[in-house]
Amino acid sequence: MSAPGSPRLVDSFTVPKDVLKEFEELAEEENVDPFAETASKRQIAQRQSDYHNRRFSRTATESIDAFQAGKDGKEVEGGYKDAMRLQMLEKEEQRVKRAIEEKERRDREEHKEKMDLDKTPPAAEIEEAAKELAAAAGTKRKRRWDEPSDKTEEKKSDTGEWSKEALEQSAPKKRRSRWDATPADVGETPKKSRWDMTPAAGSADVAMTPIIMNAPGYMQEDKHNRYLTDEELNAVLPSQGYAIVTPPPGYAPMMAPRQLMATPITEVGGFQIQESSDAAAAAAAAGLAPELPTEIPGVGNLAFFKAEDAQYFAKILKEEDETELSVEEMKERKIMRLLLKIKNGTPPVRKTALRQITDKARDFGAGPLFDKILPLLMERTLEDQERHLLVKVIDRVLYKLDDLVRPYVHKILVVIEPLLIDEDYYARVEGREIISNLSKAAGLAHMISTMRPDIDHADEYVRNTTARAFSVVASALGIPSLLPFLKAVCRSKKSWQARHTGIRIVQQIAIMMGCAVLPHLRNLVDCIAHGLSDEQQKVRTMTALGLAALAEAAAPYGIESFDNVLKPLWLGIRLHRGKGLAAFLKAIGFIIPLMDPEYASYYTKEVTVILIREFQTSDEEMKKIVLKVVKQCAATEGVTPQYIKQDILPDFFKAFWVRRMALDRRNYRQVVETTVELAQKAGASEIIGRIVNELKDEAEPYRKMVMETITKVVASLGASDIDERLEVRLVDGIIYSFQEQTTEDQVMLDGFGTVVNALGIRVKPYLMQIVSTILWRLNNKSAKVRQQAADLTTRLAVVIKQCGEDQLLSKLGLVLFEQLGEEYPDTLGSIIAAEGAIANVVGMTQMNPPVKDLLPRMTPILRNRHEKVQEASINLIGRIADRGAEFVPAREWMRICFELLDLLKAHKKGIRRAAVNSFGYIAKSLGPQDVLSVLLTNLRVQERQSRVCSTVAIAIVAETCGPFTCIPAILNEYRTAELNVRTGCLKALSFVFEYVGPQSAYYVDSVVTMLEDALTDRDLVHRQTASTIVKHLALGVAGLGCEDSMLHLMNLVWPNCFETSPHVIGAVMDAVEAMRVTLGPGVLLSYVLQGLFHPARKVREVYWRVYNALYLGAEDALVPFYPDLSELSEGQNVYDRHPLQVFI
């Protein structure tokens, strides 16, 4: 603002910029798809790390079934030998690449001035490098996703192998006869069915793209950055004034396959979207997901359809003349339809499709099936649900195909192995399941020959997943069968990678199988033991980790198996530094707990020197491992408290009890855990004495760490060895840190409560101070502070009473009472709970404020909707009703009764239960009449939950005040013509008889007529509930001489045994079983005998069911009641039961 009188700075006012911007943003917002963000989060590839997504750069080879080949007597190609060669080439390629990089770097350094800013190497250099590469590999480089490949060559080439000979032989020729007879393309071009190919949309001249080489930026065609189709452009641009320019000569689009992708979409563009379909259709109607069909010919309605699906299912998206298709093509389309149904269909559709594909798996054959399934699984936009379903398909199909899967083992593994390192637990389990089934189907030999090449693969990702897969194979086929192979791999002289992977397999086996490794422990340890002295550091580290895993799995047994490695491990910690040392320490940490006490003590002393040295480390990983090892050592029996106090504690506290440790969450936890473990040996006072001063530290996170440690130590060890001086410091520190906290959380509160409760009566001198702190904080501005103060009161109430400070309690009670007008529900809940805690310890008579003032104040609070408030107040009211109902006028209780009815609708079960119990207490003090009439009236309300709770409350009232007070009222209410009320009455009766048990004998005759009515009612629920009443009644009166009325009820229940509704038949069967107890099995048998051999099967089935229940319940007692069937004897079969015909 310019001062008055000064010249104006601007001539005119325009709209402020931010307003304009706002409108721009609004306009943009209209085009935003609100689902886009969540959609990308659902996609597995989007959320995973780069490491996980390395799976997209893996290639799979076909693994030839060696068994089958031997039978045919033909030379096979593409098997183990080829895989190994391919893998060697890949390694060589990597080596050369590294060499080139190295060379470039050196060159750059040498000719820095010459190259200057121009980073591009001269063309000659590139050529040279390429030549070198080609020469080294002796073959053409494998085609990568980022290199647009030569189209003409691609068309000819047999894309299955990239080796030289494969390229040479790539001229058209007849396909080799394969054992598995995959789609017979007789006399066609040599189009090998590759599973990792995008399904070509019928046109042979479209370049095939291996999907497995998907990469970011290539397949991410969500609707925002995909290319516009011609149709869309036509719609967007005006028809006049624009001309379509022909592309310049020589322009070849990089994204050739895009057209393939686009075609099916435009073809189905005119599709009608049905109104009945769900979310996808709704989204489509809103214009968010344009032109995606939800109905496919021959498939029907789908739950959703993604743009990416169009690419895979192009063939079935358009109508075709099926008569022109060959058998193989028909089969392919059939598989695609089934897969689409499974992947995108609604649950019922999916279920039938899954069954069909399982049943027909062997007809379809492994080839066509996996050619379709596996590319789908490697799709970048795959979501969890889709992956789960596809994995399920593989699982089912595997089971059916059995050894037919052999050629596809590697391909399946490439797709499934990534599941083993997925962050989702269920994905890992699924992956394990599949690999385990796969290894059972393919056999150990085949699995080994397939996975062997990947063991020393150049890429660490491949080795990692392979090791995990191998451990699954070991658990599926048994460790012993894999041991010889493991031994060989772990001793491999060729490459350290193989040894590394071999040892990692052992580690994974231990992690996965747990204590099941025990029988093979010695073998496994021996297998990897020599790795501790390997020349490669990575192998040594992995060996130590493997040993740690084995020891952890074997704990607490199996120390004798580790004898061989003890010496190298303990020598190793003196030789190594850094990562290697960390792994060695970890192994030691896990082995020490297995040892006998005296050995453990010796070995702990040996390792402590190193541990103390490493206390100073700056490496975070090392710190964690050191802490863990200290914890493990301290926990073993052989380590004496003396030793810990003298040798470990001083350095430990110097190194780890520093402010910096409190900043990292994981360090923090580890330090606290280790210190608590040390305290178990060294004693509470030793540890607390060392850290108690830090409670007054200026850094809050650090104070919190101290408090948490003290809490845990005191909670487990008690406060008995804390002396007077320490006690003063401790309480002082706790009060200080409680007052100084700025972030309100549980730690300080818990700590305060735990310590004060542990000190008990010793805390008396400090109570004045503590309570004045609480009182002061109860009037604090911040709601959180007030809430904490109230919570603290709840925890301290018992101790204050113990110390005999009743004045303090009544003062607190009064202040809290004044605070009941609190507006924040969380705080109010805490205040009520605190008031309740005080009422609990001082009793209703001494309570200050008096109960007759407190309760009327609570009545309006009951209307509060907040759960915490409801629960706290119902607890307090229930307590008053139970202990001190007489201090409050009856009118007030009735008012509360009406409020309580609302609480019966609460979501939390605890609240409903407390409310129902309160009814019981109130009824006890007031007499049941009024409460009962409130409850019976409540049976007329709409909500079922409220009615059900009322019936329970009625039953409780009946239990506390005697059934005679309630049953007449219930019977009277039953005469109401309203269905809900009658059912409610029946339910209430059922609960009454359940609660009163044997007392029901007095009431049987009075309820029989009502039960007659209910059991002959047309309404199913009536008969069901009546049967439940009969059950409780029969069980209650068993042996009390009510057989006559029970038999009468039995006759009324029995015809209901043909009901089919699950709840009804359940209740009826229960009633019949209860009758067995009351009437005896003989009577029941005479009912059952009528229908056991009835001509109608439906009758027989029901009767046999009853018979079985009867038989299991009273097998022995039935013997005298079986009918004498001697007249049925025929031929050799004599049915007389002679032992029963004997008499003296």
Partner 1 sequence: MSSELRYTANTQLEHLHARYTGTGHADLSKYDWLTHQHRDTLATVVGHPTLTSFLAIADGEATGRVKFEMTERMLQPCGPPPAKDED
Residues that bind partner 1 (CB under 8 A): 1060, 1062-1063, 1065-1066, 1069, 1092-1093, 1097-1098, 1100-1101, 1104-1105, 1107-1109, 1111-1112, 1115-1116, 1118-1119, 1122, 1125, 1128, 1130-1135, 1137, 1139-1140, 1142-1144
Q: Which residues of 746-762 are buried (b: 16+ CB within 10 A; e: fewer)?
A: ebbbbbbbbbbbbbeeb
CB of 1138 to partner 1, least distance (A): 9
Contact (CB, 8 A) for 401 and 441: yes
- Got the DSSP string for 305-374? --HHHHHHTHHHHS---GGGS-HHHHHHHHHHHHHHHHHHS-HHHHHHHHHHHHHTHHHH-HHHHHHHHH
CB of 1041 or CB of 1131, closer to partner 1: 1131
Say if CB 585 and CB 614 are below 8 A apart: yes
Which CB sits closer to partner 1, 235 or 1119? Answer: 1119
- What torsion do the CA atoms of 1041, 1047, 1048, 1050 make, to the nearest 10 degrees? 130
How many CA atoms are closer than 13 Å to the CA of 267, on its beta-carbon side?
18
We find the least distance from the C-beta atom of residue 349 to partner 1, in angstroms, to be: 20
Q: What would the DSSP string read from start to end of 494-536?
A: S-HHHHHHHHHHHHHHHHHHGGGGGGGHHHHHHHHHGGGG-SS
CB of 1073 to partner 1, least distance (A): 11
Shortest separation between residue 507's beta carbon and partner 1, angstroms: 41
* Minimum gap (Å) between residue 709 Cβ and partner 1: 49
What does each C-alpha distance from 805 to 2, 254, 765, 1135 come to in angstroms? 68, 86, 11, 84
Q: Which CB atom, from 640 or from 1129, has the smaller least distance to partner 1?
A: 1129
| Interatomic CA distance for residues 755 and 760, integer angstroms | 9
Least CB distance from residue 1015 to partner 1, whole Å?
20
How far CA 203 is from CA of 183, 187, 207, 1052, in Å, comes to 18, 17, 9, 75
Q: How far is the CB of 1093 from partner 1 (least distance, A)?
A: 8
Q: What is the dihedral of CA 68, 74, 75, 77, to 10 degrees?
A: -50
* Cβ nearer to partner 1, comparing 305 with 1054: 1054
Task: Write down the least CB distance from residue 342 to partner 1, Å.
Answer: 23
User: Is 996:1035 a contact under the CB 8 Å cutoff?
Assistant: no
Smallest separation, CB 1136 to partner 1 (Å):
9
Q: Which residues of 1127-1139 are buried (b: 16+ CB within 10 A; e: fewer)?
A: eeeeeeeeeeeee
Shortest CB 959 distance to partner 1, Å: 28
CA-CA distance, 67 to 38, in Å (whole number)? Answer: 49
CB of 722 to partner 1, least distance (A): 56
In the bound state with partner 1, the residue whose beta carbon lies nearer, of 323 and 1132, is: 1132
Which amino acid is located at 741 in the chain?
Q
Nearer to partner 1, 766 or 1107 (CB): 1107
Q: Which is nearer to partner 1, 399 or 1135 (CB)?
A: 1135
Give yes or no for a contact between 746 and 763, defined as CB atoms under 8 angstroms apart.
no
In the bound state with partner 1, the residue whose beta carbon lies nearer, of 978 and 1101, is 1101
Measured from the CB atom, the residue of 602 and 1093 that comes closer to partner 1 is 1093
Contact 196, 311 (CB under 8 A): no
Closer Cβ to partner 1, 467 or 1065, answer by number: 1065
User: Closest CB to partner 1 among 273 and 1089?
Assistant: 1089
Any idea what the Cα angle at residue 549 is, between residues 546 and 554, rounded to 5°?
Answer: 125
Return d(Cα 537, Cα 895) in angstroms, integer. Answer: 79
CB of 1119 to partner 1, least distance (A): 5
The answer to whether the peptide bond before residue 556 is cis (omega within 30 degrees of 0) is: yes
Among 209, 199, 215, residue whose Cα is nearest residue 263: 199
**CB of 251 or CB of 1143, closer to partner 1:** 1143
CA distances from 307 to 262, 314, 532, 622 (A): 9, 11, 53, 49
Nearest-CA neighbor of 1064 among 1028, 1088, 1104, 1105?
1028
Q: Which is nearer to partner 1, 926 or 1085 (CB)?
A: 1085
Q: How far is the CB of 1064 from partner 1 (least distance, A)?
A: 10
